[in-house]
Structures are given as C-alpha cells and as structure tokens.
C-alpha cells in the first residue's frame, strides 16, 4: 500500500510514495498502458512522469498530464490537480514547494554533482515564485552506498565534509541526504525528509545498488485547491 504525506502547514500539497506491493514504475520497461493504470491506482488524476536520464533538462506542465514521457529530470507546474511523478530506485526524489508552483527533481549523485537542484530552483524563480519548503522521499542511505574516494572528494568540495559517510561495513560512503540538506540550508529553505533507506527497507522499496533490481518506485506530488 502507498504512503500519503502532507507537509506541515501546507494542506493543499499532497505526496504519494509507492511501495513494492504497488508494482514497478520503471518507464523504460513497463508497458505504457500498464504504467498509466498503476499510476491511476495511486492517484486518480493526470500524471506527468518524465523519461529520466540523470541530467538537468526540465519540462513545464501547462495542463494536467502534459509532457508525460518526455525527456528530463526536472518537472514544474503551476496548475492544480496535476501529479508530477519522480521514479527512482536509489536516487533521491526531491521537491521544491512554492507559493504557487511545485518543482520535482530526480537527483542521483551525478545530478547533484552537476547542479540539478540549482537548476530546479532557477526554474521556480523563472516562473516568478520562490521555494517555501522542500521534501525528499526515500533514497539510498550512506549505510548502503559505498563510494569511491575520488568521487567523494568532488562531492565534499561541493557540499561540505558531511557528504562523506561510512557504510555499514565501515567503508567510505556518500551521504546523499547530507548533500541535499546542504543545498536547502544554503538557500534557507525548510526541508522535510522521509528518512527511509531503499537499500535497507527491502520489504518496501526496490534498490538497484543493493539488490540489483530493475524495478522502480514512484513519488508523486500535486496541489489541490
């Protein structure tokens, strides 16, 4: 069964987080008709789910359901009842909530390195809004994310020493959550985290890194009136 979440003090913004029992939302392999059916079972509204490529390209949703299936890792909208879906295995689904806009981000370590969160923040400002709250859904924790020393140096240079972590076996690891917190702190945006590791929570989530699974969960966000 999926989880439904609201942010403190923002009753018009809603999140849904799929679990393993809700099925696979990997748009690279799941038939489009089946994918639409599964999304409707979660939330019976029009969805936009991009073809994510670990980049920073963005799409703007003018009407509910528009841009569905197009390429990008950042989605924004200012319309109500339009579900923005981010599908992930271990990457972080990150959301910026504005006074009028919502921007959703697929943030893997390469996207974080290449500034995908800054691109998302800039998209919001381009459309004359500012982020008042952030949300990050389940993603891989440092406990399960052994990382090379050379790449850790890059991430620590960008996000500070807290990007360095240690996994459950004592090996160098990337702390994705700390990288995301660093960005939101630098922008002075409050952040709510669903602190669940996709690697550890095998009963709930798929994980490419830990279990080699091709399946993906999805996190959707939408605003009601």
The sign of the CA dihedral 38, 48, 108, 16 is: negative
pLDDT of residue 188: 98
CATH number at residue 104: 3.60.140.10
Condensed to tens digits (0 to 9), the pLDDT of residues 53-100 reads: 999 999 999 999 999 999 999 999 999 999 999 999 999 999 999 999
Taking residues 209-214, report their average pLDDT. Answer: 97
In terms of residue numbers, what domain contains 115? Answer: 3-139+188-223
Domain membership flag for residue 111: yes
Taking residues 13-18, report their average pLDDT. Answer: 98
Domain membership flag for residue 154: no
Whether the predicted pLDDT of 215 surpasses 90: yes
Residue 84 burial by Cβ neighbours in a 10 Å radius (0-12, 13-18, 19+): buried
Query: Which neighbouring-strand residues pair with 77?
Result: 61, 102
Whether the predicted pLDDT of 18 surpasses 90: yes
Domain membership flag for residue 156: no
CA nearest neighbour of 42 among 21, 16, 24, 6: 16
- 3-state SS string for the chain: CCEEEEECCEEEEEEEECCHHHCCCCCCCCCHHHHHHHHHHHCCCCEEECECCCCCCEEEECCCCCCCCCECCEEEECCCCCEEEEEECCCEEEEEEECCCEEEEEECHHHHHCCHHHHHHHHHHHCCCCEEEEEECCECCHHHCECCHHHHHHHHHHHCHHHEEECCCCCEEECHHHHHHHHHHHCCCCEEECCCECCCCCCCCCCHHHHCCCCCEEEEEEECC
pLDDT of residue 177: 98
Domain membership flag for residue 62: yes
What confidence tier does 126 reach under pLDDT thresholds 50, 70, 90?
very high
Instruction: Report the domain count for the chain.
Output: 1
Q: What is the mean pLDDT of the chain?
A: 97
**How far is the C-alpha of 87 from the C-alpha of 80, rounded, in Å?**
21
Condensed to tens digits (0 to 9), the pLDDT of residues 27-46 reads: 999 999 999 999 999 999 99
The whole-model pTM stands at: 0.97
Domain membership flag for residue 135: yes
pLDDT of residue 145: 98
Domain membership flag for residue 101: yes
Domain membership flag for residue 174: no
Domain membership flag for residue 183: no
């Amino acid at each position: 069964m999926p989880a439904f979440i609201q942010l403190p003090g923002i009753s018009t913004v809603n999140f849904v987080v799929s679990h393993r029992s809700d099925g696979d939302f990997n748009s690279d392999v799941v038939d489009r008709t089946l994918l639409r059916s599964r999304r409707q079972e979660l939330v019976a509204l029009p969805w936009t789910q991009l073809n994510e490529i670990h980049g920073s390209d963005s799409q703007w949703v003018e009407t509910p359901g528009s841009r569905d299936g197009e390429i990008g890792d950042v989605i924004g909208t200012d319309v109500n009842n339009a579900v923005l879906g981010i599908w992930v295995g271990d990457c972080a689904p990150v959301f910026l909530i504005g006074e009028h806009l919502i921007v959703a981000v697929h943030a893997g370590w390469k996207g974080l390195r290449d500034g995908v969160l800054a691109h998302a923040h800039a998209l919001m400002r381009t459309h004359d809004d500012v982020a008042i709250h952030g949300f990050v859904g389940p993603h891989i924790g440092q406990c399960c994310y052994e990382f090379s020393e050379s790449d850790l140096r890059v991430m620590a240079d960008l996000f500070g020493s807290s990007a360095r972590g240690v996994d459950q076996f004592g090996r160098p690891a990337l702390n994705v959550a700390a990288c995301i917190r660093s960005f939101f702190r630098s922008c002075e945006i409050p952040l709510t985290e669903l602190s669940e590791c996709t690697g550890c929570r095998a009963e709930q989530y798929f994980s490419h890194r830990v279990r080699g699974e091709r399946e993906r969960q999805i996190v959707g966000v939408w605003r009601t009136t």
